[in-house]
Structure 1
Amino acid sequence: MSGFLQKSNDIFQPILPKQFDENEYFTLAISVLVIVCITVLQKKKKVFLTTEIIAILLLNLLYTTLGDYFLAMKPYDFYDTVDHNSGEIMDILLQNIVYPFTLLILMYFYARYKLNSFMYIIFGAMLLCILEWISVKFFNLFTYK
């Protein structure tokens, strides 16, 4: 059995956090928050079909994975996320839950209330910039180079 545990440790060690600190707690908290928000909103008034949600999640997964791969790895290497310069287990939560569900929440309000397109895009971009600033300033989620 110890051979299995050693092999498991060898496999998972490169993607585990160096230390479980504020950026991991923030990632877990924000993941739970966005899941709860979108669940409550969808139960309150269903705006999206399940197929639309799946399509948005898959499209966002494609763009975040490719974007992080190209922008956070050599030759560009603009930033590191969480504790490593390459993928970490918390990146999976960020890419699969936080990023797409945050966009779903923004799209929910746009679809439900038929808001002005241009102003809502500006509002969404500003809101996401503020959220990223909070994650960098207070929780060290990203390290820009």
Structure 2
Amino acid sequence: MMLPLPEKFDSNEIFIIFSTVLSWTLMFILPRRLPAVTITIIWTFNVFLAVLADITLSVKPYELYFTIDHKKHELFDVLLHFVTYPTLSYFVVNFYQYNKPKGLKYLFYIIFWAGIAISLEWISVKFHVFTYTGWKLYLSFITYLFVFAATIWLANFVEKKG
């Protein structure tokens, strides 16, 4: 079954295309500190988290937000979940590898990236990539704290086993 194309091509699709091209360009320009297996595992983990959030929080009974133009998924939702969203966690883990902060530095590192994430999410809300119907930006901040900490833990676990 093929996902439908957007009902109208507007600012949210343009934003997703721009974000995807920019983030993927940065991924290939900036030095990579992660082996391919670690990238694959953290990428898959973050796709799983994004899809899980959407199938629990954006549908009945909660319906806290919806993505793109409407409550039904379309082609750009797939692009957002599988190609665009995981790049931020890639950067979090890749830059973590430079000096592997510990203690308070680690906490500030996670807070810094959660701040970057909610800033990007706030911009995406302005471009109607997300429409909140009950969700709040501070909930995203808290979620990103856990997601980034879990992603770093997972990357470290994979690298210890490898």
Q: What TM-score bracket applies, with the shorter chain setting the length?
A: 0.7 to 0.9
- CA shift for structure 1 position 135: 1.0
Task: Trace 1:49-128 onto structure 2 (pairs within 5 A).
Answer: 49-115=35-101, 116-128=105-117
Residue 132 (structure 2) pairs with residue 144 (structure 1): yes
- Contact kept, 8 Å, 1:80 with 1:142, in 2: the verdict is yes
Task: Decide which of 120, 129, 136 is 1:131's aligned counterpart.
Answer: 120
What is the percentage of aligned positions where both structures have the same residue? 37
- TM-score for the superposition, normalised by structure 1: 0.84
Unaligned runs of 5+ in 1: 1-10
Unaligned runs of 5+ in 2: 134-162
Give per-residue Cα distances to partners, 1:93-134, cap 9 Å, x unaligned.
111111111111122111123342100101011111111111
Q: How many residues align?
A: 130
Between the aligned partners of 1:98 and 1:40, the Cα distance in structure 2 is 16
- CA shift for structure 1 position 15: 2.5
Task: Decide which of 9, 16, 20 is 2:5's aligned counterpart.
Answer: 16
Say which is worse superposed, 99-108 or 119-128, in terms of deviation.
99-108
- CA shift for structure 1 position 24: 0.2
Give per-residue Cα distances to partners, 1:31-56, cap 9 Å, x unaligned.
11111111112xx3x31010000001
- TM-score for the superposition, normalised by structure 2: 0.75
Residue 3 of structure 1 corresponds to: none
Give per-residue Cα distances to partners, 1:35-93, cap 9 Å, x unaligned.
1111112xx3x310100000011111111111111111111111110012121111111
1:73 maps to a residue whose letter is: V
Between the aligned partners of 1:130 and 1:63, the Cα distance in structure 2 is 19
Residue 31 of structure 1 corresponds to: 20
Report the 3-state secondary structure (helix = DSSP H, G, I; strand = E; otherwise coil) of the residue aligned with 2:51.
helix
CA RMSD in angstroms comes to 1.4
1:133 maps to a residue whose letter is: W
Report the 3-state secondary structure (helix = DSSP H, G, I; strand = E; otherwise coil) of the residue aligned with 1:80.
strand
Higher Rg: 1
